[in-house]
Each structure stands twice: as structure tokens, then as C-alpha cells.
């Protein structure tokens, strides 16, 4: 499963649907061998202390780092996230 991280400032919690959040929690759990992420990423993620929240409304694979206030912005759909990432990775060539 690919994980897509979406950030809406100010970040106060990390939310994902249950299976995605369980996977993220497993990835962040300290282990004798850390095969899936760099030590720098893991130590940073573990030190933030943001609450992890199950959110059934989020699509699988999307992790939303968001404010916890009730009037927070709605999370983007998986199609919107994929479109945004595709636009970032698109190689453009310019002609003189």
C-alpha cells in the first residue's frame, strides 16, 4: 500500500482510515530492524507527539496531518491527492 501524506496547517493530529492508521502506527513503532524508513524520518515522526485519529471518511492510503478543530478544511479526495502528486512529478521541457 502506498501512503499519501496531506498536510493542512496548523497540524494538531494525524488522521487516517483504520487500516491505514494501523499500518502507519506499525511503521513508526520502534523495532530492532527498521527496513521501511530512514532513522531520521522515524525519529522525527516519533518525536512530534500528535494524536493518531481513526477517520472512516478518509480513503485508504491517505494520511491527513490536520488541525483538530471542527471547522477544519475537508481533506482532499484520493483522486485530488494523486492529481497533485502527478503534477509535481510531471517533467516539463521548455523550448527556447
pLDDT tier for residue 36 given thresholds of 50, 70 and 90? low
Residue 17: predicted pLDDT: 92
Handedness of CA 54, 13, 66, 23 (dihedral sign): negative
Residue 44: predicted pLDDT: 67
- In a 13 Å sphere around the CA of 5, the CA atoms on its Cβ side amount to 8
CA 94 to chain centre: 32
Q: The whole model's pTM is what?
A: 0.53
In this predicted model, what pLDDT tens digit does every residue of 65-76 receive, in sequence order? 888 755 556 667
Contact (CB, 8 A) for 77 and 6: no
Amino acid at each position: 500500500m502506498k501512503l499519501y501524506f496531506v498536510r493542512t496547517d496548523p497540524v494538531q493530529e494525524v488522521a487516517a482510515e483504520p487500516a491505514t492508521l494501523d499500518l502507519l502506527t506499525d511503521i513508526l513503532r520502534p523495532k530492532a530492524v527498521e527496513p521501511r524508513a530512514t532513522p531520521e524520518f522515524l525519529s522525527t515522526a516519533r518525536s512530534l507527539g500528535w494524536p493518531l485519529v481513526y477517520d472512516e471518511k478518509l480513503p485508504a492510503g491517505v494520511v491527513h496531518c490536520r488541525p483538530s478543530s471542527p471547522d477544519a478544511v475537508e481533506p482532499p479526495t484520493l483522486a485530488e491527492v494523486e492529481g497533485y502528486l502527478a503534477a509535481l512529478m510531471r517533467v516539463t521541457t521548455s523550448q527556447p
